[in-house]
Amino acid sequence: MLKTMLALVALVAAASAPAQTTDAGGACARLAAQTGLKQQSDGSWRANMLGGVGAALFGGTTGATFQVQPIEGSTAEQALEKACQQEGAAIACRVSGPARVIVGTKRRNASIDLASGETAEVGMKGRYLTCRRGK
């Protein structure tokens, strides 16, 4: 039983290291390697952040933090402008590169860099961490 979902959004504007090299799998595949996201039949990626027998028997809570940062060669406005928005019980960060996306969960922090022109939509819906190629 899911009692509460906590999603904190922190938008941080700070200069940092150059972008990672993008690969054929895209931003979600790079994020999956760090978070356990699994590709779905519709092409999106999803991970159950609550998981486990204890949560199934006794309920629990889950949450994630999302940060969007500029990377070298970009401005804060490009990375942060309307990046993350709450939509009902869900939160979605629609990001266009160049930018760094950092997702924090109780398990670990994951970070990916989006190259110029690369897009991704990363968020949390219910107990699921989600990612899909941006529009």
Q: Beta-carbon neighbour count of residue 126 at 10 Å?
A: 13
**Confidence label for 12 from pLDDT (cuts 50, 70 and 90):** very low
Q: Which of 21-30, 32-41, 52-61, 88-97 has the lowest mean pLDDT?
A: 52-61
Q: Report the pLDDT value the prediction gives residue 70, as an integer from 0 to 100.
A: 78
Confidence of residue 78 (pLDDT cuts 50, 70, 90): low
Distance of CA 132 to the CA centre of its chain: 10
Q: Does the pLDDT value for residue 30 go beyond 60?
A: yes
- Are 21 and 97 contacting, i.e. CB atoms less than 8 angstroms apart? no
Q: What dihedral angle (degrees, nearest 10) is formed by the CA atoms of 22, 96, 7, 23?
A: -10
Check pLDDT > 70 for residue 19.
no
